[in-house]
Amino acid sequence: MSSRRTVSLITLGCARNEVDSEELAGRLAADGWTLVDGDDGEKADVVLVNTCGFIEAAKQDSIETLLNAADSGAKVVAAGCLAERYGAELAEAMPEAQVLSFDDYTQISKRLDDVLAGRPLTPHTPRDRRTLLPITPVERSAASGPHTPGHLTFGADPEPLPEGVAPASGPTVPRLRLNGGPVANLKIASGCDRRCSFCAIPSFRGAYLSRHPDDVLREAEWLADQGVRELFLVSENSTSYGKDLGDLRALEKLLPRLAEVPGIERVRVSYLQPAEVRPGLVDVLTGTPKVVPYFDLSFQHASGPLLRRMRRFGDRERFLELVETIRARSPEAGIRSNFIVGFPGETEEDLAELTAFLEQARLDAVGIFGYSDEEGTEAAGFDGKLPEETIAERVEQLNQLAEELMAQRAEERVGTTVEVLVEAELDEGAYEGRAAHQAPEVDGSTIVYAETELRVGDIVPATVLTAMGVDLVAEHQEDADTP
């Protein structure tokens, strides 16, 4: 075997997966593997695909990616949610790829060594990972359970890690940034204790487990040393953060600490459950310097009866009250959400409730998804299934409405001043970035024109000139200070 072992890492799915991939990359780099970019034409010994297994479309994308990787002639390994969820079944259906479990992550280098040497891996039998930790949340932090991806712990390491993997001295963390740039995802928790009838994620991601605040803070400090200006806190449910640590206000306490990390200018939180958004959290998100007033709220629908079938709380009136409370505290706050259309039993009245909510709430960003059965979920066995044609029609109807409403909301920002984090230079005098109400990748972007040179990572004030859908065009305010 050559002493130089190369691996290409492909990440599919959500921001949580991106953090997991950087953990895998860090562990591999620390053990002497060289990461190569397949897009640059350099062939890797092993292609490691961090798959997504959330919905059918994501599964198919993962399978196609694995097959394409196998066509390159490299040895292929499947990790991530699809691999965890199906294990031996996936290995049997796809002999082109070896299959790993989350529990293999701590030994990822040895597993890839086996693959490179032609030693077959024994694929795991999937299990409900919720059963691997105590039922009572506060008992979990002391449990010595299975590995949880992305839950990195700082500790003394006598062997220095490669440049970029960790600070040159002091405690280390096995994470290697793959994409660079001034924004980084920071995982604060994993898993979910909710039992939404349509969602299979808790079964393969496991029960809810918070990272200790000190570990989160120290990783934030490391990211700041890497040039990160904005932290994007990710988890399956950020509003539950700390419940297993015995502190329901843990997120409210953590956010100001992260905002004080030198070099960090923005802290943003993703995936908030509306039923768990307490007044104190709204106050912190709208009143703490450097914590952006951004609310990624998981509404899913607005009809009370349908939400009960989804095993969720709330209705149009309660959700509108929350939106109004947020905007009363911070009129410029960004609010986004996703909605499922065509859930079993959804009536025209239910759809009308959702339509009315969208028209009244005027959210900054909206995602509309058609319902599809997910094996292993309660909803897969529900009656009242709608024809695919009906679901497609409703998705199209709501998508058109959402696009109109989002464009109107963006138009309301014309003439206002926004703070833009510069992420790329387009042409001389033109830059692309995001205002505070725009999260990475999902909420549009802002083009800034400036007469003076800006740098990637700058946060600059800019006057919004026009809107193009959810995207903004703005002009840098030359006489204002840049943080």
pTM (2 d.p.): 0.90
Please, which residues have CB within 8 angstroms of residue 315's CB and are 6 or more apart in sequence?
302, 303, 304, 307, 353
Which runs of consecutive H residues, i.e. helices, occur in 98-160? 108-116
Mean pLDDT taken over the chain? 90
User: Strand 230-234 vs strand 183-187: parallel, antiparallel, or unpaired?
Assistant: parallel
User: Strand 189-190 vs strand 209-210: parallel, antiparallel, or unpaired?
Assistant: antiparallel
Q: How far is CA 483 from CA 223, 290, 421, 422, 459, in A?
A: 18, 11, 10, 12, 6
Band (99; pLDDT cuts 50, 70, 90): very high
Question: Average pLDDT for residues 390-405, to the nearest whole number?
Answer: 97
Under CATH, which number does the domain 416-476 receive? 2.40.50.140
* Range 6-124 classified under CATH 3.40.50.12160: yes
* Cα(416)–Cα(410) distance, integer angstroms: 11
Question: Average pLDDT for residues 208-214, to the nearest whole number?
Answer: 92
Please, which residues have CB within 8 angstroms of residue 127's CB and are 6 or more apart in sequence?
none
Structure tokens at 410: 């963006």
Asked whether residue 237 carries a pLDDT value surpassing 90, the answer given is: yes
**By mean pLDDT, which of 56-65, 330-339, 342-351, 405-414 is the weakest?**
56-65
Q: How far is CA 335 from CA 240, 268, 272, 299, 432, in A?
A: 19, 12, 11, 11, 21
Q: Which CATH architecture has domain 176-412?
A: Alpha-Beta Horseshoe (3.80)
Please, which residues have CB within 8 angstroms of residue 178's CB and are 6 or more apart in sequence?
9, 11, 18, 21, 22, 25, 35
Looking at residue 144, what is its pLDDT? 55
Residue 412: how many other CB atoms lie within 10 Å: 14
Band (224; pLDDT cuts 50, 70, 90): very high
Q: Max CA-CA distance within the chain?
A: 65
Looking at residue 168, what is its pLDDT? 41
State CA 384 to chain mean position distance: 32
Boundaries of every domain in the chain: 6-124, 176-412, 416-476
Asked whether residue 411 carries a pLDDT value surpassing 70, the answer given is: yes
Identify the CA nearest to 277 among candidates 246, 305, 318, 308. 318
The winner for highest mean pLDDT among 4-8, 114-118, 218-222, 360-364 is 360-364
Band (97; pLDDT cuts 50, 70, 90): very high
Query: DSSP assignment of 317-384, as one string?
Result: HHHHHHHHHHHHH-TT-EEEEEEEES-TT--HHHHHHHHHHHHHH--SEEEEEE----TTSGGGG-S-
Looking at residue 289, what is its pLDDT? 96
**By mean pLDDT, which of 293-297, 374-378, 388-392 is the weakest?**
374-378
Looking at residue 143, what is its pLDDT? 61
Question: Average pLDDT for residues 281-286, to the nearest whole number?
Answer: 97
Binding site residues for [4Fe-4S] cluster, as ranges?
14, 52, 81, 192, 196, 199
Looking at residue 170, what is its pLDDT? 43
pLDDT tens-digit series, residues 438-473: 999 889 999 999 999 999 999 999 999 999 999 999
Same fold, 6-124 and 176-412: no
Looking at residue 162, what is its pLDDT? 55
Asked whether residue 27 carries a pLDDT value surpassing 70, the answer given is: yes
**By mean pLDDT, which of 121-135, 157-171, 317-331, 377-391 is the weakest?**
157-171
Looking at residue 311, what is its pLDDT? 96
Asked whether residue 145 carries a pLDDT value surpassing 70, the answer given is: no
Looking at residue 73, what is its pLDDT? 81
Binding site residues, as ranges?
14, 52, 81, 192, 196, 199
- CA angle 378–319–309, rounded 5-degree value: 15
pLDDT tens-digit series, residues 79-96: 999 999 999 999 999 999
Looking at residue 132, what is its pLDDT? 83
Asked whether residue 427 carries a pLDDT value surpassing 90, the answer given is: no
Looking at residue 439, what is its pLDDT? 94
* Cα(393)–Cα(250) distance, integer angstroms: 43
**By mean pLDDT, which of 87-96, 135-144, 164-173, 200-209 is the weakest?**
164-173
Asked whether residue 480 carries a pLDDT value surpassing 80, the answer given is: no
